[in-house]
């Protein structure tokens, strides 16, 4: 009978029994283990067991015929004159069990015996003996560990004879210590920085190999993070220097609106082991980036435009290395304030030699009042006065003039018969300029007729032949050009003067300022305030009206011809056309006049307009010199409308003449016929206009 037991330090197997209940046994006990040799020593014994209460005699009849334990044979043995009950040891010994590389050991045993002349009895079994520690366990002190810092491996070994090989591996490079007992200390070398040029941390793999007498027992592995120190960042120097441009170098300052700036990066170095990647410069009106080239340590940028702000201007420079670590620094530059000169217009008048104001004086008295930016006392200005007689294009220099002082110009030679332009110009060192111009009239008279009899002057001399020159201000009670509409005027009647029905307007403007004063009954195109423009040839045959809505929502126009007004029609601009394409635009035609069978009628109708795109070649349905295109599909009818007529016109580019437009009563809404020259290429838009009513 076989018995199998688990991992243990002692065990026993026994056979089945014969008729008198006696049986054979084999038992073992762990004596010792050798960690260094990776072996276990066990003591074993074999014999028979009597199980009955009464003694029994066996004369030379108890026999162990064969057996094996731990791979070693059990000697054959015969005994007699023994009786039970109890264990009767027949043979004993020791055996050494070898363990595998993981320290695991196993023992198997078999035994065959016989009582007298009975059949042989067999027993067998197997056991796992306690493991022998092999590869030493270890722990890592420090995780993560910075480059340049120490890391410790603490080892727990099973035997003092064990030594260890400790290896640290990063990115394919290995550092090794040998003959290590229970602890190994390693400082992460600076050269690791070069192995992690593009990242801020990296895994370090640790292997501890256990050795005994130069023989490898086993190994274990672990890992920890190595981090790049936060202090390993780019370092560099940044400066901002002025670019003078039009500013004199001797001034030694940057000037607003004139000086540019050069921002420079120098002596740039990346974080240890990394490489320089990119730079960015920001400041007033500047945001530029760039890449560092191979082994490049400098970069610079000069502003495209002059600096537009004054005071201490800060330029920010950010440098980034291959690890993505960035450092920003600021470079200040002082910019001195500057603005163009300013002129404050003063009083200018004709005067006598003493500067006293007189109407026909031969001098002009000018009061100059101007200012400029001093730029820390470095800027200067020049100011001069010039004058120009009417009709001339040449300016006469009146000399320099100081601010806040009145100066006489003209040397007493200014003609009373001419008006003059007087100009004050101020210019500073940097080219900034300001000027103002006055007009000085002719000599003062109440009324003066030109010597050539063709013109006159009021309040001054008449300078222009064929005209009336008025020097005095004109005061008027009402604008002669725009007339205000009330709530009673009918727009149909605004085509002739109310006080002379036979005199027709040539061009008149009317303004309606109130929505409430508009009315369909008085023939407004829309019930909104607006401007009405009426123009005609002076003949009763033609009058044209345009109505501009006050809120910009549209312009309408219509025409009086002979006896009738045409309906108001909205003027479409490009945006309206684009919006209308593919959709009906609805307009009210309230109380409008139209012709039906040559009879003037007035009704309340509406008009719908839509644009339809056309892009086709016509070459079929030939009839004489024309190809008839009968497949122009009209868009769906306006919803809810009753249509009584439709008009189609074409705006197209083609090889022949423009197609004629046609109109028809609505009998078949499905298509419309247009005529074209044969084989014409049609590309453009068709405007479909439908007339009718809608509840």
- Rounded to whole angstroms, how far apart are CA atoms 494 and 508? 9
Q: Work out whether strand 555-561 and strand 507-512 pair parallel, antiparallel, or are unpaired.
A: unpaired
Tokens 């919803």 label which residue?
639
C-alpha dist (Å) from residue 266 to 197, 300, 317: 21, 8, 11
- Rounded to whole angstroms, how far apart are CA atoms 115 and 62? 5
Q: Which pLDDT value is given to residue 368?
A: 82
Q: Which pLDDT value is given to residue 578?
A: 47
Contact 580, 611 (CB under 8 A): yes
**Chain length of the chain:** 695
* pLDDT for 695 beyond 70: no
pLDDT, tens digit, 9 for 90 and up, residues 504-554: 556 788 999 998 999 888 889 888 899 999 888 666 778 899 999 988 877
pLDDT, tens digit, 9 for 90 and up, residues 429-438: 999 999 888 8
Which of 110-114, 167-171, 306-310, 441-445 reaches the highest mean pLDDT? 167-171
Which of the four pLDDT bands, split at 50, 70 and 90, describes residue 498?
very low
Q: Which pLDDT value is given to residue 334?
A: 94
- Rounded to whole angstroms, how far apart are CA atoms 684 and 577? 13
Q: Which pLDDT value is given to residue 658?
A: 38
Q: What share of the chain is helix, strand, coil (3-state, %, to 5)?
A: 5, 55, 45
Q: Which residues contact 301 (CB under 8 A, 6 or more apart)?
A: 262, 263, 281, 286, 288, 290
Q: Which pLDDT value is given to residue 458?
A: 67
Eight-class DSSP state of 519: -
Which of the four pLDDT bands, split at 50, 70 and 90, describes residue 367?
confident
* pLDDT for 499 beyond 60: no
How many other C-beta atoms can be found within 10 angstroms of the C-beta atom of residue 282? 16
Q: Which pLDDT value is given to residue 11?
A: 84
Which of the four pLDDT bands, split at 50, 70 and 90, describes residue 450?
low
Q: Which pLDDT value is given to residue 656?
A: 39
Report which of residues 435 and 116 the model is more confident about.
435
Contact 70, 42 (CB under 8 A): yes
How confident is the prediction for the chain on average, in pLDDT? 79
C-alpha dist (Å) from residue 458 to 358, 390, 448, 461, 474: 18, 17, 7, 7, 11
Q: Which pLDDT value is given to residue 169?
A: 96
Which of the four pLDDT bands, split at 50, 70 and 90, describes residue 493?
confident
Q: Which pLDDT value is given to residue 19?
A: 63
Eight-class DSSP state of 576: H
C-alpha dist (Å) from residue 317 to 234, 267, 268, 304: 12, 14, 12, 17
pLDDT, tens digit, 9 for 90 and up, residues 400-428: 988 888 889 888 888 887 888 899 999 99
How confident is the model over 217-226, as a mean pLDDT? 92
How confident is the model over 9-36, as a mean pLDDT? 82
What is the SS3 assignment for 575? helix
What is the SS3 assignment for 195? helix
pLDDT, tens digit, 9 for 90 and up, residues 609-659: 666 655 444 433 333 444 444 345 566 777 777 777 666 655 544 433 334
Which of the four pLDDT bands, split at 50, 70 and 90, describes residue 314?
very high
H or E element in which residue 133 lies: none
What is the SS3 assignment for 563? coil
Worst-scoring range by mean pLDDT, 25-34, 82-91, 112-121, 331-340?
82-91
* pLDDT for 263 beyond 50: yes
pLDDT, tens digit, 9 for 90 and up, residues 264-313: 999 999 888 888 999 999 998 889 999 998 878 888 888 888 998 999 99
How confident is the model over 7-33, as a mean pLDDT? 81
How confident is the model over 599-609, as a mean pLDDT? 58
Contact 224, 143 (CB under 8 A): yes
Q: Which pLDDT value is given to residue 627?
A: 40
* pLDDT for 214 beyond 90: no
Beta-carbon-side half-sphere exposure of residue 610 (alpha carbons within 13 Å): 15
Q: Which pLDDT value is given to residue 590?
A: 46
Worst-scoring range by mean pLDDT, 25-29, 158-162, 362-366, 619-623?
619-623
Which of the four pLDDT bands, split at 50, 70 and 90, describes residue 671?
very low
Q: How many Å is the maximal CA-CA distance in the chain?
A: 183
DSSP per position, 255-293: ETTT-EEEEEEEEEE-STT--EEEEEEEETTEEEEEE--
Q: Which pLDDT value is given to residue 616?
A: 47
How confident is the model over 333-358, as a mean pLDDT? 89
How many other C-beta atoms can be found within 10 angstroms of the C-beta atom of residue 380? 12
- Rounded to whole angstroms, how far apart are CA atoms 658 and 164? 103
Q: In what order do the strands lie in the sheet with 215-227?
A: 145-146, 215-227, 201-212, 163-170, 173-180
Strand partners, 370: 343
How confident is the model over 685-689, as a mean pLDDT? 63
Q: Which residues contact 489 (CB under 8 A, 6 or more apart)?
A: 510, 522
What is the SS3 assignment for 302? strand
């Amino acid at each position: 009978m076989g018995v199998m037991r688990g991992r243990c330090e002692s065990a026993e197997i026994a056979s089945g029994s014969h008729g008198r209940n006696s049986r054979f046994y084999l038992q073992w006990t762990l004596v010792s283990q050798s960690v260094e040799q990776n072996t276990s020593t066990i003591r074993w014994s074999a014999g028979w067991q009597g199980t009955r209460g009464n003694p029994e005699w066996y004369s030379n009849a108890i026999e162990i015929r064969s057996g094996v334990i731990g791979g070693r044979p059990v000697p054959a043995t015969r005994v007699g004159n023994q009786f039970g009950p109890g264990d009767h040891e027949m043979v004993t010994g020791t055996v050494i069990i070898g363990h595998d590389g993981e320290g695991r050991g196993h023992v198997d045993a078999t035994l065959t015996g016989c009582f007298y002349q009975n059949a042989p009895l067999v027993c067998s079994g197997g056991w796992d003996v306690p493991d022998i520690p092999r590869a030493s366990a270890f722990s890592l002190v420090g995780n993560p560990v910075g480059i340049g810092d120490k890391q410790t491996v603490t080892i727990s070994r099973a035997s003092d004879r064990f030594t260890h090989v400790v290896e640290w591996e990063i990115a394919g490079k290995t550092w090794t210590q040998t003959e290590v007992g229970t602890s190994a200390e390693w400082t992460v070398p600076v050269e690791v920085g070069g192995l992690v040029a593009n990242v801020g941390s990296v895994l370090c793999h640790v292997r501890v190999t256990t050795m005994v007498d130069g023989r490898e027992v086993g190994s274990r592995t672990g890992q920890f993070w190595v981090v790049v120190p936060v202090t390993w960042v780019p370092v560099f120097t940044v400066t901002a220097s002025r670019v003078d441009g039009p500013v004199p170098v001797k001034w030694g300052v940057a000037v607003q609106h004139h000086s540019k700036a050069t921002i420079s990066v120098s002596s740039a170095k990346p974080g240890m082991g990394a490489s320089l990647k990119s730079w960015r410069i920001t400041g007033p009106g500047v945001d530029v980036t760039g890449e560092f080239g191979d082994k490049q340590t400098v970069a610079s940028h000069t502003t495209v435009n002059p600096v537009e702000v004054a005071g201490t201007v800060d330029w920010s420079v950010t440098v980034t290395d291959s690890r993505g670590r960035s450092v920003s620094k600021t470079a200040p530059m002082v910019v001195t304030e500057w603005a163009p000169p300013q002129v404050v217009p003063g009083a200018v008048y004709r005067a006598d030699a003493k500067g006293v104001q007189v109407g026909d004086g031969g001098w002009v008295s000018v009061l100059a009042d101007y200012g400029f930016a001093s730029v820390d006392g470095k800027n200067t200005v020049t100011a001069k006065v010039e004058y120009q007689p009417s009709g001339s294009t040449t300016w006469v220099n009146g000399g320099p003039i100081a601010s806040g002082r009145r100066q006489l110009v003209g040397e007493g030679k200014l003609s009373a018969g001419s008006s003059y332009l007087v100009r004050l110009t101020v210019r500073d060192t940097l080219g900034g300029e300001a000027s103002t111009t006055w007009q000085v009239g002719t000599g003062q008279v109440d009324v003066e007729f030109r010597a050539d009899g063709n013109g006159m002057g009021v309040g001054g001399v008449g300078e222009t032949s064929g005209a009336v020159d008025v020097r005095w201000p004109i005061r008027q009670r009402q604008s002669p050009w725009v007339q205000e509409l009330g709530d009673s005027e009918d727009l149909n009647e605004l085509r002739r003067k109310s006080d002379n029905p036979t005199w027709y307007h040539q061009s008149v403007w009317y303004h309606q300022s109130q929505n409430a004063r508009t009315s369909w009954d008085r023939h407004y195109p829309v019930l909104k305030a607006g401007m009405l423009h009426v123009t005609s040839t002076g003949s009763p045959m033609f009058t044209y009206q345009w109505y501009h809505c006050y809120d910009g929502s549209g312009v309408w126009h219509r025409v009086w011809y002979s006896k009738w007004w045409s309906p108001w029609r909205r003027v479409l601009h490009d945006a309206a056309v684009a919006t209308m394409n593919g959709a009906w635009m609805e307009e009210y035609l309230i109380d409008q006049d139209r012709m039906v069978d040559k009879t003037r009628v007035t009704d309340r109708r509406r008009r719908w307009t839509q644009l339809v795109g056309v892009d086709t070649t016509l070459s079929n349905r030939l009839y004489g010199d024309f190809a008839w295109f009968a497949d122009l599909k009209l868009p769906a009818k306006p919803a809810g409308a009753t249509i009584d007529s439709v008009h189609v016109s074409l705006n197209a580019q083609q090889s022949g003449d423009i197609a004629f437009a046609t109109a028809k009563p609505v009998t078949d809404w499905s298509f419309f016929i247009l005529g074209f020259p044969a084989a014409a290429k049609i590309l453009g838009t068709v405007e479909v206009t439908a007339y009718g009513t809608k509840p």
